[in-house]
């Protein structure tokens, strides 16, 4: 069965070479007219392709021409139509970040992996944390903190020693980065529909940036994070390599 495919690729030479070969073999369709988008590269290329799907909700099938490629299928040129037709679907819900900077300007961004806050200078940041409008921590001194989705739990969240969350767990991970006080706090697991607020203590003296994946806003004073159910995304995986299986395998890796 022939499928209308829009190929997209990162700038890596391996991805660009694959793009040239695959478009010659399977054709190239504009993203607006395609049934499926095929992303070539690493996880960054997959996330870029997924961000363009917030409005049209078209499925994205990734093939690894990058380094890690946790979100990608193995690269293979043959039988692409058949692989896409037999692929398993994983539905992801992004996080919406609403950030207010020290000048009172508001910024809204969507994140597939995580919303993260980081200190901008050598000084640690101090944060006040509320969950569902109830204060849970009066002051956290740290290098940063993040709210991660299940899909993003194996990315930077895992590097910061946060928990791995199975797809469909209906949870978010709240994970500190280099927590100083309280020193032994390791974070929290939150319901997927929780509304998380961060208030920056002394934002002018201790400047902080916020990022929805790689979309950064600097000099922030306040951030709200919540799940956005109006922007579902669909990823396609080869049978036996679905995202929930990859996440499960990652929990037993060492």
For residue 232, give the nearest of 59, 42, 116, 39 by alpha carbon: 59
For residue 215, give the nearest of 110, 125, 121, 143 by alpha carbon: 110
Per-residue pLDDT tens digits for 7-30: 999 999 999 999 999 999 999 999
Percent of the chain at pLDDT > 90 equals 82
Using the predicted structure, report yes or no on whether residue 67 has a pLDDT greater than 80.
no
What pLDDT was estimated at residue 248?
A: 75
Per-residue pLDDT tens digits for 167-209: 778 999 999 999 999 988 999 999 999 999 999 999 999 999 9
Average pLDDT over residues 68-78: 88
What pLDDT was estimated at residue 139?
A: 96
Q: How far is CA 136 from the centre of its chain?
A: 25
CA distances to 6, 140, 216, 232 from 32, rounded to whole Å, are 9, 45, 27, 18
Q: pTM for the complete prediction?
A: 0.87
Q: Where does the pLDDT of residue 254 fall: very low under 50, low under 70, confident under 90, or very high at 90 and above?
A: low
Q: Which of the residues are catalytic?
A: 43
What pLDDT was estimated at residue 140?
A: 96
What pLDDT was estimated at residue 230?
A: 94
For residue 195, give the nearest of 163, 227, 222 by alpha carbon: 227
């Amino acid at each position: 069965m022939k499928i209308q495919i829009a190929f997209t690729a990162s700038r890596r030479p391996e991805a660009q070479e694959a793009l040239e070969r695959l478009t010659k073999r399977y054709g190239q369709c504009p993203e607006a007219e395609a049934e499926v988008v095929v992303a070539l590269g690493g996880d960054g290329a997959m996330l870029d392709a997924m961000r363009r799907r917030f409005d049209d909700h078209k499925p994205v099938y990734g093939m690894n021409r990058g380094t890690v490629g946790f979100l990608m299928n193995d690269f293979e040129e043959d039988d692409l139509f058949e692989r896409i037709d037999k692929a398993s679907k994983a539905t992801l819900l992004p996080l919406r970040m609403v950030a207010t900077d020290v000048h009172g300007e508001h910024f809204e961004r969507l994140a597939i992996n995580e919303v993260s806050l980081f200190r901008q200078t050598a000084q640690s940041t101090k944060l006040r944390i509320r969950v569902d409008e109830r204060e849970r921590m009066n002051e956290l001194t740290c290098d940063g903190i993040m709210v991660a989705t299940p899909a993003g739990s194996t990315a930077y969240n895992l590097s910061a020693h946060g928990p791995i969350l199975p797809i469909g767990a209906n949870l978010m991970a709240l994970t500190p980065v280099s927590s100083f006080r309280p020193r032994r706090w390791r974070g929290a697991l939150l319901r997927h529909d929780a509304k998380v607020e961060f208030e920056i203590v002394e934002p002018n003296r201790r400047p902080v940036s916020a990022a929805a994946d790689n979309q950064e806003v600097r000099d922030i004073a306040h951030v709200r994070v919540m799940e956005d159910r109006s922007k579902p995304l669909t990823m396609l995986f080869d049978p036996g390599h679905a995202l929930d299986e990859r996440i499960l395998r990652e929990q037993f890796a060492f």
